Amino acid sequence: MNQNPKAVLITGASGRIGLHLVKESLHLGYHVVLHYRSSPEPALSLFKDDNRVTFLQAELTESPEKFMEEVFKLPLTIEGLVNNASVFHKGNLTDIEHFNSMMSVNVMVPLRLSAAFAKVNKSGWIINMTDARTKPKNKNYANYRISKMILDEITEQLAFLYAPAIRVNAIAPGAVLADANRSPKQFEQLAKNIPLAKTGDVIHIRQAFRFLVENDYMTGCVIPVDGGWHLCG
């Protein structure tokens, strides 16, 4: 009988939303395999003495399958996969190299990790992190937008493919955490374009995450956590 503790693999989890998903997973009673690409901070400072968190470094675009092999060698029962690792840079379809880069990280990595997860696991769940603003056209971030739109579709298709053994859902955040391209004041000004007239907080992402983990009758859903922003053009 397998006595290994249940665990969640979260990619790109050393900071920002990923770090909060680690905290919520621990709150739900899971151990966490915390993937990072370059630096483990600030997560390492928070969890270095917590034996429930295992840190693994990898450049996921090189071999997601080999990375998953290393994950499954750990003395853990990997029940969940959170595809959170992502890149967000300006670029549109005039730059094919940039488009390929967006597709490699935001589409192919989660797709290949999910396939490797499903190949080993006969039960469990996958949650992809997409984006609430994939429908409105955007000249500056077109390649990013398209990559996340494809990930939405992949989420639904994998849910259909892996059912009934593995549930696959996605969370599509809106304005919940300021990025480096906006000052706090600019971030708050986004509220005027949001139907609920306010920006969100990472607690709203954690609530959606908890809901998808605990509700075993949900699959193929992309949940926007954006105050209704996805309704606007």
Q: What kind and span of H or E run contains 158?
A: helix 142-162
For the chain, give the longest Cα–Cα distance: 55
Contact 136, 224 (CB under 8 A): no
Higher pLDDT, 3 or 119: 119
pLDDT digits (tens, 9 = 90+) for 49-96: 999 999 999 999 999 999 999 999 999 999 999 999 999 999 999 999
As a whole-number percent, the residues of the chain with pLDDT over 90 amount to: 94
The pLDDT of residue 2 is 57
* Band of residue 1 on the pLDDT scale cut at 50, 70, 90: very low
Please give the single-letter amino acid code of residue 179: D
Identify each DSSP E strand in the chain by its residue range. 6-10, 31-36, 53-57, 77-83, 124-129, 166-173, 222-225
Mean pLDDT of the chain: 96
Contact 109, 35 (CB under 8 A): no
pLDDT digits (tens, 9 = 90+) for 161-212: 999 999 999 999 999 998 877 888 899 999 999 999 999 999 999 999 999 9
Domains of the chain and any CATH numbers: 6-231 (3.40.50.720)
Q: Is the pLDDT of residue 150 over 50?
A: yes
Tally of residues, the chain: 233
